[in-house]
Amino acid sequence: MGKGLEALIQPYSAEKIPDHHGVDKISIRSIKPNPHQPRQKFDETSLEELTASIKEKGILTPITVQKEGNQFILIAGERRLRASKKAGLKKIPVYIIDVADDAEMIEMALIENIQRENLNPIEEAEAYIYLNNRFKLSQEKIAKSVGKKRATISNSLRLLTLPREIKESIRNGRLSAGHGRAILMMKTHNSMIGLWKKIIKGKMSVRAAEDWAKEKTSKKLELRKKVIRKVSPQIKRLEDELISILGTKVRIIYKKGSGSIEVSYFSDDDLERITEMIRSLE
């Protein structure tokens, strides 16, 4: 896959872009957007500020493109490209590079955005999962490629397990990734939604959300510890007899003359063994 991720570990510069041909100036109209752009949202205020800066000082860091016939495909620098268009520039400085295939182009676009912290936490997590699914990269490999710890990658990916509404709040900036991790301390969908609403309504800090989640989960744990199963001596004796016969854990749920018997098994072979033993009792 071309030079792969190893060539992309450091932020791009004229010396580190693979197979670049120096800085050129090309028509802004000849640049096509990257179809694999991982960044989905662009802050308008930030974009306006960059536009004003480009009008005054020009583009300080060239964007990165790949030549395709008489046109160019954007690889890195979409925000600068958008701001340049808004600033009314006709030509902009670019690095023209050669990439082996679409796969390498996708890698470069993803990692450039991750390294520049241009992605919101959900987009970043989606970029990591894309690298994992599309290129079969482990969390360790992704971490090395983007210069972050494996635990950081793992925590980022956990955000994708949040309910849809909460992910959207993080995506649009109403919640931080820290809030998301605090919500993940809750164990059920409803409890996550409940804490999410509480954070939004009360404008809770990350620390406050974490403390609230810890308090709730610890109370539930204490409650579970206090719930002690009461079993009559007769039921306990029957359980022990069944355990002795079947050679596995057995639990009788007795409710005033009705109930059920739970027989545990720990493998397919174990299930077959227990089934044969029950049949032999007929």
> What pLDDT, in 10s, does the model give residues 192-207?
999 999 999 999 999 9
Q: From CA 103, how far away is CA 108, in angstroms rounded?
A: 9
Q: Which of 9, 7, 111, 23 is nearest to 65 (CA)?
A: 23
246 pLDDT more than 70: yes
74-88, 158-172, 265-279: range with lowest mean pLDDT: 265-279
Size of the chain in residues = 282
The arithmetic mean of pLDDT across residues 202-223, rounded, is 83
Cα first-last separation, the chain: 64
The arithmetic mean of pLDDT across residues 111-119, rounded, is 69
State the Rg of the chain over Cα: 29
35 pLDDT more than 50: yes
**Given the residues 78, 104, 112, 124, the one annotated as active site:** 78
pLDDT, residue 159, reads 94
pLDDT, residue 17, reads 40
Q: Where are the domains of the chain?
A: 5-151, 174-226, 233-280
Q: Which of 183, 199, 203 is nearest to 191 (CA)?
A: 183
The CA angle 97-100-101, to the nearest 5 degrees, is: 110
pLDDT, residue 52, reads 92
pLDDT tens, residue by residue, 46-76: 788 889 998 988 888 888 888 888 899 888 8
What φ, ψ does residue 261 adopt, rounded to 5°?
A: -120, 125
- Per-residue pLDDT band for 45 (boundaries 50, 70, 90) equals confident
pLDDT, residue 272, reads 81
Q: What interhelical angle do 44-57 and 78-86 show, nearest 10?
A: 70
pLDDT tens, residue by residue, 158-188: 999 999 999 999 998 999 999 999 999 998 9
The DSSP annotation for the chain comes to -TTTGGGGSSPP-TTTSTT---EEEEEGGGEEPPTT-------HHHHHHHHHHHHHH--SS-EEEEEETTEEEEEE-HHHHHHHHHTT-SEEEEEEE--SSHHHHHHHHHHHHHHTT-S-HHHHHHHHHHHHHHH---HHHHHHHHT--HHHHHHHHHGGGS-HHHHHHHHTTSS-HHHHHHHTTS-SHHHHHHHHHHHHHHT--HHHHHHHHHHHHHHHHHHHHH-PPP--HHHHHHHHHHHHHHSS-EEEEEETTEEEEEE--SSHHHHHHHHHHHHHT-
For this structure, is 78 an active site residue? yes
With left for phi above 0 and alpha for psi between -120 and 50, is residue 177 left, alpha or beta?
alpha
Average pLDDT, the chain: 80
126 pLDDT more than 50: yes
pLDDT, residue 89, reads 92
The arithmetic mean of pLDDT across residues 111-130, rounded, is 79
The arithmetic mean of pLDDT across residues 256-270, rounded, is 80
The arithmetic mean of pLDDT across residues 96-106, rounded, is 74
More confident residue, 24 or 205: 205
pLDDT, residue 138, reads 87
Look at domain 5-151 and name its CATH class. alpha beta
